[in-house]
Structure 1
Amino acid sequence: MSAKRFAAVALAVHLLLLPVLPGVAHADDPAEAGPVQQTPLGPISALDKELLVKVRLAGLWEMPMGEETKTRAASTRVKEVGAQLASDHMFLDERVVRLASQMGVTLPNEPNADQQSWMAEMRSLTGTAFDDSFANRLRAAHGSIFPAIGTVRANTRNEAIRQFAQVCNQIVLKHMTLLESTNMVTDMGLSKPVAAGVAPAAAVRGDPVRASAQLPSDGPSPLVVLLMCLAGAVVTIGILRVLRPRGDVK
């Protein structure tokens, strides 16, 4: 094999290996949605079912805490927001229970451990301390589920799930805006939700360097992949130059 042909093969192998580097996820891979289950309302994926479970869980703790703003909150605005959140989640809960029943999806009947810790924290407080906990705990929870709803809305193949996700998207956005209108949302409310008693990571505002540092990484960053491509090209060019046939010396 000639030097040029060898270098060309080396470069081709290098480029072919790049798309299958360990940890590189492909957003358009249907397998990421999980196995598909057939239901009377059409096929649903694992992500579709997960949305139903998450909405049910949200209602199981946000409905009662919204109601409790009537007696625990000091701020009139927090009481108004709490009443609206309780009403909206009652509407969503009725809808998600009916939809899950039609699709054969099992839903939880009590909040998860983190949600129970938030409820216990708020029930130990009254007045402005309760207001602060309510605004931030609920804002963090809504911020966490918001992108998950968007993913299902964009990718589901089930029309009933798509319509439900559309409604959820609008309500969750509304709730985040309402909670922010209390003027009590701090870094805790803008961070990933954590169990009561666990310090949340500091929220990042307008700092692209810190923001990128906090993003979860499932594999090499685009910059690393680009550098690897450039390195492969440089190595190939070097091989070509070293092994290139030279003219006759006179």
Structure 2
Amino acid sequence: MGTLFVGGALSVTLVALAYPAMLGVNTTSSDGSRIIAQTQWGPLTEADRDFVVKVRAAGLWEYPVGQMGLKKGQSKGVITASKHLVDGHAALDATCRKISTMLNITIPNVASPQQVGFVNTLAADRGKQFDTDFANILRVTHGSIFNTIAKIRSTTKNTMVRALADQANDTVLDHITVMEQTGLVNFDQVLFQQTTPPKLPAKDLTPPPPAAGQPEVVLTPPADSTTQPPVLPGESSASASPSPTVR
């Protein structure tokens, strides 16, 4: 396998939440439980904020990789997994963008340098090498964030973050499953990389904040999408319809 680098503004007591200084394997501070805002949906901690940004950043590279897999995949399993990536992350990102507005969290428009490196590796692959790297890179990254989701879900006191964690849990478990069903996952290597991640500098793990006035990137659901964003607490079914592709 190739080398793995592996709204609601008024309801928040702070005018704006500082963009996370560090994401990825590390945390933004020594105490992720520090409350940074009181909202009508419950207190928001540093860990909660970082989780929302991580979900957004994951979609920003996995969604285009799914589109890439639909074109470059050599096996039926990789094609199927690619469809799941595009479908799942479009729905997950719709929820993430909505929640970030409600909680006044700044989210990125570009993935982290590490994640862009994953995309570049797969873009350079050809033939069966693409399928192998695709399955293993994505199994490592999904396996790594799976534990983060569980921790956030079990500790957050914020209703909206909890709803995002529920959806992320279902999506990531589905993606782990379809990667394994390709038959290409090297479990010894994957588990080693999950438990001994490379020690990268903060700049490689942090997606850049969006430029002032930059339109928000929207991950458009496929025409044959089978996944819809869930109805959030306090929402009606009508208000939970997918966001437009341009705004």
The CA deviation string for residues 86-141 of structure 1, in whole angstroms up to 9 with x for no partner, is 11001001110110011000111101011111100100012210001110111111
Aligned to 1:185: 185
Find out whether 1:131 has 2:131 as its counterpart.
yes
For the residues of structure 2 that align with 1:70 and 1:34, how far apart are their CA atoms?
42
Q: Which residue matches 1:85?
A: 85
How big is the alpha-carbon RMSD for the aligned residues of Structure 1 and Structure 2? 1.6
TM-score, length of structure 2 as denominator length = 0.64
Query: Shift of residue 161 of structure 1?
Result: 1.3
The CA distance in 2 between the partners of 1:95 and 1:115, in whole Å, is 21
Secondary structure of the structure 1 residue equivalent to 2:190: coil
Structure 1 stretches lacking a partner, 5+ long: 1-30, 196-250
Q: Does 1:42 align with 2:48?
A: no
Letter in 1 for 2:177: T
8 Å contact from structure 1 (residues 149, 169) kept in 2: yes
Cα distance, 1:40 vs structure 2: 4.2
Aligned length: 165
Aligned pairs for 1:229-244 within 5 A: none
**What's the secondary structure of 1:37's corresponding residue?**
strand
CA contact (8 A) 1:47 1:152 kept: yes
| Per-residue Cα deviation, 1:62-86 (whole angstroms, up to 9, x for no partner) | 0000011121111111011111111
Alignment of 1:10-29 (within 5 A): none
Hey, what's the Cα distance between the residues in 2 that align with 1:105 and 1:63? Answer: 21
> Which residue does the alignment assign to 2:163?
163
Q: Distance in 1 between matches of 2:71 and 2:119?
A: 15
Percent identity of paired positions between Structure 1 and Structure 2 = 34
Give the TM-score, by structure 1 length: 0.63
Answer yes or no: is the 8 Å Cα contact 2:66–2:83 preserved in 1.
yes
TM alignment of 1:89-128, pairs within 5 A = 89-128=89-128
Q: Kindly state the Cα deviation for residue 34 of structure 1 after the two structures are TM-superposed.
A: 2.1
Amino acid at match of 1:70: L
The structure with the largest helix share of the pair is 1
Q: CA deviation at 1:36?
A: 3.6
Aligned to 1:62: 62
Counterpart residue type for residue 39 of structure 1: T
**Does structure 1 conserve the Cα–Cα contact (< 8 Å) formed by 2:32 and 2:46?**
no
In 2, distance between residues paired with 1:194 and 1:78?
26
Within 2, Cα distance between the matches of 1:194 and 1:137? 14
* Equivalent position of 1:76 in the other structure: 76
Q: Name the larger-Rg structure.
A: 1
Q: Which residue of 1 aligns with 2:221?
A: none
Q: Deviations over 1:3-58 (max 9, x none)?
A: xxxxxxxxxxxxxxxxxxxxxxxxxxxx5512341234332111111110110011
Runs of 4+ more than 3 Å apart? none
